[in-house]
A and B are shown apart, each in its own frame.
Chain A
Amino acid sequence: MNDEIKSSCSIRTDGEPEATRATMPMWLIALTLMLLFLGGVYFDHHSGWFNAKVYSPYVSAEQLELYQPKSGAAAAAAQGKKVYETVCGICHGNDGMGKPNQAPPLAGSEWVITAGFHRLAQIPLTGLSGNLQVEGKDWNLNMAPMGATLSDADLAAVLTYIRTSWGNKAGAVTADDVKAVRAAVGGHPSITGAQLKDLPE
């Protein structure tokens, strides 16, 4: 039997072939490393580094950030929300409902939804102290001039935001409006709730 096979297949006569080890050619290693490098470069430029928010055609989180719409009234509202939540929301609440013993509500507040904006704009510029009635409740607290350090545009955006959010439907405030109020009252000492009542809207 064995002889039969041997005679019919005369290629190898020295038993079973055996795999031996051979050195990997240098060019293959170099090619692999180069492909890995190019792959890495491509990945770095196009992947957004696994950021779940980055989809094509955007290639990185920075590029996506650059393409966010940032003009017009809608963008001002977004800016107002951002400023509100970092500056005002801590006490007045991100929902505008106020917090007991910290700050009165802004949502539906008769001091916010006024036709004019001068009196409202004065509060963050000079601060407010003493008793003030808001939505039928007495609040006896102090507010620092939180808006004095904000830019005209940011303060205008945040005033617009509180006048148009949480069901409030008052008019927008522009940066020029804030500039005028700041020029009139900026640097004045804190006003009291009683004084505020006598101010025109």
Chain B
Amino acid sequence: MKNGFGIFLAAFIALDLSWCGFVLAPVKQLSTAKQTQVLNSTDIYPIGRPGEANQGLQAYRASGCAACHTEQVRQDGVACEVVLTSTGKNPAVVSNLVSTLKLAGLTKEEADTTSDKITAAGGKVETHIAPVGVDIPHWGVRRSVAGDFLYDYPVQLGSLRAGPDLANVGARLPDANWQLVHLYAPQAVVKNSAMPPFRFLFEVRVRKIGDAPSPDALKFPKDFPPPAGCEVVPKPEAKQLAAYLMSLRADAPLYEAPFTPVMTKP
């Protein structure tokens, strides 16, 4: 073969460059990632998953949940909203001014100009920053970032959303019994769910007369009673999986994905 060495060199360089791009660069970029602080708070993020939840990650992996569920929230943009907190000494002037200004859906520069105008008129404002996207606020309050997966091995990103995204499921559905019933019989709690039941994670026990019910037995909704005379008890894997699902929370504002938390009114 003529030019054999040249062809080998070209192929080697092509492979080498892609290795640098796909392996070396991400390692250099992200391997030093460590715990950070939640924005405007002294809380640390992320906190490692508690032991049972960490084992649940392996149950999640073993059950192939990542085949149908993703753990990544997408964000298309960011919008600012100027919120009037006080009208100051000239309420009429300020509210007149505010009624002429656009207050929501602004870029940061526009929001700063607007709040400067209102402040100059004597009012007090706060600028709220909110992520925007098809996934928000349905699946999460902000985009997923590498830090969310700091303690996961292997990371269960998933690539197909046959079922809902689970990046923030612990904040959305923080009820262990709900999670377990949903694993045992998805259609009992979510009508028309396409999820297959994971009954092998549970034990159906016949309850003898006079026996005390198991403290772990599932509490089913009224229209979906357990088999007569039986109780459904989760195996350790099911409990671990539920603990893992409830530990999936990506709702803290971070430096790399900032937002103004929505204050829940007391």
Contact = CB atoms under 8 A, between A and B. Distances in A.
Interface of A: 19, 50, 52-58, 64, 66-72, 74-75, 77-78, 81, 165
Given A55-B143, A55-B257, A67 B108 contact: yes
A55 B76 contact: no
Interface string B27-43: 01110110000011110
A68 B258 contact: yes
Contact of A69 (B30, B40, B77, B256): B40
Given A70-B127, A72-B126, A78-B40, 17 more contacts: A50-B25, A50-B28, A50-B29, A52-B30, A53-B256, A55-B145, A56-B75, A64-B258, A66-B108, A67-B80, A67-B129, A67-B258, A68-B255, A69-B127, A74-B39, A74-B41, A75-B40
Nearest to B142: A55
From DSSP, what is the main secondary structure of chain A's interface residues? loop
Contacts of A58: 78
A24 B146 CA distance: 44
Contact of A52 (B29, B76, B127): B29
Interface in B1-41: 2, 25, 28-30, 32-33, 39-41
- Interface size of B as a range: 20 to 34
B208 to A, nearest CB: 52
A164 to B, nearest CB: 10
Contacts of A69: 39-40, 127-129, 253, 258-260
B40 A74 contact: yes
Nearest 3 CB-CB pairings of A with B: A74-B40, A71-B126, A53-B256
B258 A53 contact: no
Interface in B114-164: 125-129, 143, 145-146
Contacts of B41: 74, 77
A82 to B, nearest CB: 11
21 contacts: A50-B28, A52-B146, A54-B256, A55-B143, A55-B256, A57-B76, A64-B255, A67-B108, A67-B258, A68-B39, A68-B255, A68-B258, A69-B129, A69-B253, A69-B258, A69-B259, A69-B260, A71-B127, A72-B126, A74-B39, A74-B40
A77 B38 CA distance: 12
A50 B24 CA distance: 12
